[in-house]
Chain A
Amino acid sequence: MLFAVLSIFLGAALSPLVVRVSRQAAGWILGLLPLGVFVFFARQVPTVAHGETVRQSFEWLPSLNIPLSFYLDGLSLLFALLVTGIGTLIVVYAGGYLAHHEQLGRFYVQLLSFMGAMLGLVLADNIYVFFIFFELTSLTSYLLIGFYHTEEESRVAARKALVVTGGGGLALLGGLLLLGQVTGTMEFSEMLSMGAAVQSHPYYLAIFVLVCAGAFTKSAQFPFHFWLPAAMAGPTPVSAYLHSATMVKAGVFLLARLSPVLGGTAVWEGTLGIVGGFTMLMSAWLALRYTDLKQILAYTTVMVLGLLTMLLGVGGEEAITAMVTFTVVHALYKGGLFMMAGSIDHETGTRNVRELGGLRNAMPWTMAGAVATGLSMAGIPPLFGFIGKEMTYEAALHADSFGILLLGVSVLANVALVASGLVVGLKPFIGEQKGAFTREPHEAPVSMWLGPLVLGALGLTFGVYPALIDHSLLQSAQTGILQESHELHLALWHGFSPALMASLVTFALGFTVYATWESIQESGVMAGLGTAFGHGPGRVFERGLYGLARFSEGITVLFQNGRFRWYLFAIFTSVIVLVGGGLVEAQVGWPEFDGDVAYYEAALAGLIMLSTFVAVRTTGRFIAILALSVGGYGVALLYLLFGAPDLAMTQFAIETLTLILLVIVIIHLPGIEEEEPLGVRLRDGAIALGCGALYTVMMSVIVSSPLDRRVSEYLAQNSYTEALGHNVVNVILVDFRGIDTMGEITVLTIAAIGVYVLMRMPRRDAHAEADDEVPAEEGAASTAE
């Protein structure tokens, strides 16, 4: 499994090369990679169907006890097959869709990285590994959504998706860590049997809320749904992939994965049922508000995510049967429909349903795929969508709680889904050709109609012969969620059951809505709905983000106003207040003074004080700096006197260099102007005296208290035996604390580069003409780089 995930990432790294070698066939060649991984996982189906699970673990960060572990059960296998199977078709499709885009190589890097992240997410067993892949999908989808980065709309949408899903991910991390603490393990596979212990733990509610925050943001549940329709700004292959098989299902997957641990409580049922149900109903009807093919499809995705969440909330054999069935149903039809929408856009230049019609002759292959997937979405027999819908109704009819409510919500949402399915899958192809297209409509290349056709055919096959997957794949996925095995058999014909009646009602209402689609769309109710739920939350989010930026700008201006004197004032005053206050509170008395001072020590102290006095009193900058340096050398001499030659040497060298640097800079500054007003001088003097007094007290306290010599003795004893060095200071620097030194020299390098960049920046002030002299040297420097 590790190899499967890694091979996808390796493919991502190699894809620009493939694109360079053969742009035309890149999609077909790169498609072989996910296809191979798909075959690998398909061969695991018999094993897993027997009820076996596979766990693999590799050492990764042993000192932190984080293994790179993967877990394959029915649930992860189902998702792995969706990710790689639909991924194959998407990769091929993108080769046609973006054939002439100059950044095709970059696109494949991002797409395949995303695929690898998603595959890792569904397979991960360790919660850290899961979280890393979870956030990696947020990050890569951010790049994918913002692929057309020169357009503002794409950037805004990408940022929205990243902030919402990444923010939710942080909450999720908290939830997962708490979960790990409660269960005492970091592996999902070991947690699955600990449901009762977790649910009776006082942290349960906190874990539940945090996990839901992660899952709901990722899977676009109300009120976080707004990022998903906005994400339509990305290229169509991305939308097709994100919506059908991956990204947005990650949240649902997470809930499914944890439902044996967290599920079954009243909080779980209530929250998932209400949030999912509301999301489902709202978005199903919102979909009717839009005319853009991709927008309609986006809102119906939100609807299905709501449905899946609700079914997970209901729980139990039948609801989970419906949930796993609908996951496959939705992946098949949504992937196909998005690709179809992209093909239409590509070949006619528009995605507006109102401008589309009569494409049946121009695009027969696309139409075949579109009709099959569209009818599956509408839930019309004998397509797989019909079975998915029937299972949902069955689950609603037999649910213990919320049964009738669930049925009502499902029927109402499905009515809208029937209408949307017909609007998207059928409307563009029937009737008369409307408006003038920017391009003469013609059939898309094979790579672009293959995907919808394959997915449409699969929807039809699974509808007619559900036995192909129900026992093997869906049942083991259900077992993965429920942790107990139930016989699962799907059939097209259930007899004249109440569920069938509900379906017939749904069809009747759905066709009516479809027939009156245009007038419903123009009605005031729909407009209100669109404002309240379609754009509203998104706008609130944008406002909030804008407000946050303004707020932080205000804070920055307040604290980082660019006046050095203010910084020093703030730093020193807070040190005096905080540290001094601490000393007073701890009732530290004035330490004993033994009065044993050698004459040269006193002389040195006098020298340092004298130089400081000169530095303060002088009006010449040059003299001030020289005086300060004298003070610095005095300190270095003190080090030498008290047996720290290394420190003294460094102090000497630094002091010299600082002096030179300051002299170079100071020459450009004007002399010190007339004296400050008395008030300012008194204030500064008070701060200086306060600081001095504070440090004096602190030093005396430290010196008079007995030293803990354990560390220094250890170092002195082991310096030669461990590191073959007699100079303890140096041994500490290069051996005992070598990593610190490494960090320090890295910081030094960064600081140096910072100064270098700062000095090369164009000047904003009036001295700009001085730059005229620089280019010759700059030229020399840049050629040498």
Chain B
Amino acid sequence: MMLYSLILRVAARLLVPLLLLFSVFMMLRGHNLPGGGFVGGLVAASAFVLYALAAGVQQAREVLRVEPHTLLGVGLALAYGAGVLALVLGKPFLTGLWLHPHLPLIGDFHLGSALLFDLGVMLVVVGTVLLMVFSVEDRLPGLVEE
């Protein structure tokens, strides 16, 4: 049984970069508008799952470049790091830290440790979904055989 079609494959080629871009956008706007690391992570994971459906798990792994385990580890480290950073500066664990640089083209800009935390959440979500999907696919091959 094959769901593997030319149309899906071509569509995926176009959609995946857009979805990934969209996921980053969702993650970044999350602090002030609907979005955030969790949703961003789900969107990014969907992009890779779509690619896996269209072109095969092996290809999706290659496009991802890193193993899902690595994403999990880096994500957790970023989130915990954002907390520890406050600890290092003598504040309680996970206190939000902010920088307010004035950038030449953009103007006033706020940069917070919350962003680091959200990025960690996003990577963990992507890692979780992909680790599950890839290992289920490894175990039960059939849908996307090449």
Contact = CB atoms under 8 A, between A and B. Distances in A.
Q: In the complex, which of the residues B96, B112, B118 has the most CB atoms of chain A within 10 Å of its own CB atom?
A: B96
B143 A667 contact: yes
A273 to B, nearest CB: 51
Contacts of B106: none
A516 interface: no
Contacts of A742: 79-80, 83, 94
A756 B31 contact: no
Interface string B52-88: 0100011001000001110010011001100100000
Interface in A291-317: none
A589 to B, nearest CB: 37
B101 to A, nearest CB: 14
A663 B49 CA distance: 12
Contact of A664 (B26, B32, B121, B143): B143
A753 B138 CA distance: 15
Contact of A778 (B34, B46, B138): B138
Contacts of A672: none
Contacts of A759: 135-136, 138-139
A369 B76 CA distance: 58
Nearest to B67: A784
Interface stretch (A104-112, A157-165, A391-399, A645-653): A645-653
Given A726-B31, A730-B36, A781-B67, A739 B131 contact: no
Given A661-B133, A773-B141, A784-B67, A748 B94 contact: no
A738 interface: yes
Report whether over half of chain A's contact residues are helix, strand or loop; otherwise say mixed.
helix
B24 interface: no
Q: What is the size category of the interface that chain B forms with chain A?
A: 35 or more
Q: In the complex, which of the residues B31, B46, B93, B136 has the most CB atoms of chain A within 10 Å of its own CB atom?
A: B31
Nearest to A63: B92
Interface in B84-127: 93-94, 96, 98, 110, 112, 114, 117-118, 120-121, 124-125, 127
A746 B83 CA distance: 14
A740 to B, nearest CB: 11
B140 A668 contact: yes
Given A734-B114, A742-B94, A759-B138, A649 B124 contact: no
A785 B69 contact: yes
Contacts of A770: 141
Contacts of A653: 39, 42-43, 46
A27 B57 CA distance: 55
A752 B133 contact: no
Contacts of B131: 752-753, 755-756
A738 B93 CA distance: 10
A722 B132 CA distance: 37
Nearest to B125: A748
Given A656-B46, A665-B140, A756 B135 contact: yes
A62 to B, nearest CB: 11
Nearest to B44: A653
Q: In the complex, which of the residues A653, A654, A745 has the most CB atoms of chain B within 10 Å of its own CB atom?
A: A745
Contacts of B129: 657
A755 B129 CA distance: 10
Contacts of A733: 36-38, 121
A154 B34 CA distance: 60
A725 B142 contact: no
Given A730-B35, A730-B36, A748-B125, A723 B96 contact: yes
Contacts of A745: 75-76, 79, 120-121, 124-125
A725 B140 contact: no
A453 interface: no
Given A742-B79, A745-B76, A774-B141, 7 more contacts: A649-B39, A650-B42, A656-B46, A657-B45, A755-B131, A773-B141, A774-B138
Interface of A: 645-646, 649-650, 653-654, 656-657, 660-661, 663-665, 667-668, 722-727, 729-731, 733-735, 738-739, 741-742, 745-746, 748-749, 751-753, 755-756, 759-760, 770, 773-774, 777-778, 780-781, 784-785
Give 6 nearest A-B pairs by CB, closest first: A653-B42, A645-B34, A726-B32, A759-B135, A752-B128, A725-B31
5 contacts: A646-B34, A653-B42, A657-B49, A660-B49, A777-B58
